Amino acid sequence: MKILHIPVLCDEIIENLYIHNKTTNIIDCTLGEGGMSEEILSTIEDVYIFGIDTDSSILNIAKERLSKYKNIDLINENYINLSKNKKINKDIHNIIFDLGLSNYHLRNSNKGFSFDSNNILDMRFDESENLTAHQIINQYNKKELLTIFKEYADFPINSNTNKFIEYIVQKRPIDTCENLKKICLNFYRNLPYNKAIQNITRIFQAIRIEVNNEFENIKKGLENAFNVIEPKGRILAITYHSGEDRIVKNIFREYKSNNNIEKKFKLINKKVIKPTFKEQKTNSSSRSAKLRIIERVI
């Protein structure tokens, strides 16, 4: 078993958990290879974790890695269903979201997440879902492509973006990651190489977000989390790009200022928590990470 993902902001997550005076129950909504959960299991004495991941292949890796722990339950599920899942049968004191994808997806999943691979464009975390990256890039019309590049990768609506989309449509069919990367590099040939690669990274990101319905899932997942968290409990969310962070920030603000007398929430950190310089240096995937935490007061 080769572990590829180094968990991000782990110390900061552990320091900010609500520790219950009996067992501290946690939902790790994005278990991945289980790095974050393993740190928690080995640091906090009396803890129970429900570890969720929608990708069954990465969950199998976590299963092997965490097999020595009896106080974790692994659940192959989309976190949008966390409040309905019958296995989650304890009071919940902390809910963690470590959003986005794992290094496992980029380097080992063969599902076409990385533009440095020659896999078929797929990008589904959950392979039972229907929509693939291949369908998006080959079947979406120009308006639909413009929407996802704008909404999920902050591409400006201007003539250059329109020309890029026109170019993609002319080059169809596009089957593999390598194929798509070459087409993009050709379109951006007048840009410095690192700028072109930045654009390609954002294009792959936009397609992945659309395939996995990620923005809608974050909204639904957080709504569920607000429903199940116990008083004094905390929701902790790590984001990796502006689109994700905007959603978390807005939903946290909304809950903080709502006037529901039965449930009140307060923000734990007014400013986002970022990885230390040392963490950013040792784990480049952590560079863009931002942690936001909210607590249910009553």
Residue number, 184 or 211, with CB nearest to ligand SAM:
211
Residue 52 Cβ vs ligand SAM, minimum distance, rounded to whole Å = 5
Residues 6+ apart with CB under 8 A from 203: 149, 153, 180, 184
The tokens for 114 are 């990385």
Shortest distance, CB of residue 185 to ligand SAM, whole angstroms? 27
Residue closer to ligand SAM by CB (options 5, 134) is 5
Nearer CB in complex with ligand SAM: 34/243: 34
First CA to last CA distance, the chain: 43
Tokens of 254: 């909304």
To ligand SAM, the closest distance from the beta carbon of 253 in angstroms equals 22
Nearer to ligand SAM, 12 or 98 (CB): 98
**Which is nearer to ligand SAM, 85 or 102 (by Cβ)?**
102
Supply the minimum distance, in Å, between the C-beta of residue 101 and ligand SAM. 6
* Residue whose Cβ sits closest to ligand SAM: 32
Q: Which residue ranges make up the site for ligand SAM (CB under 6 A)?
A: 5, 7, 29-30, 32-36, 52-55, 58, 78-79, 98, 100-102, 125, 212, 217
Which residue lies nearer to ligand SAM by CB, 125 or 252?
125
CA distance 43 to 29: 19
> CB of residue 53 vs ligand SAM: minimum separation in angstroms?
5
Minimum distance, C-beta of residue 104 to ligand SAM, in the bound complex (Å): 7
Q: Are 261 and 44 in contact (CB under 8 A)?
A: no
Between 55 and 183, name the residue whose CB sits nearer to ligand SAM.
Answer: 55
Q: Which is nearer to ligand SAM, 50 or 125 (CB)?
A: 125
Q: Which positions ≥6 away from 134 have C-beta within 8 Å?
A: 112, 120, 121, 122, 174, 175
CB of 126 to ligand SAM, least distance (A): 8
* Rounded CA separation 135/173 (Å): 10
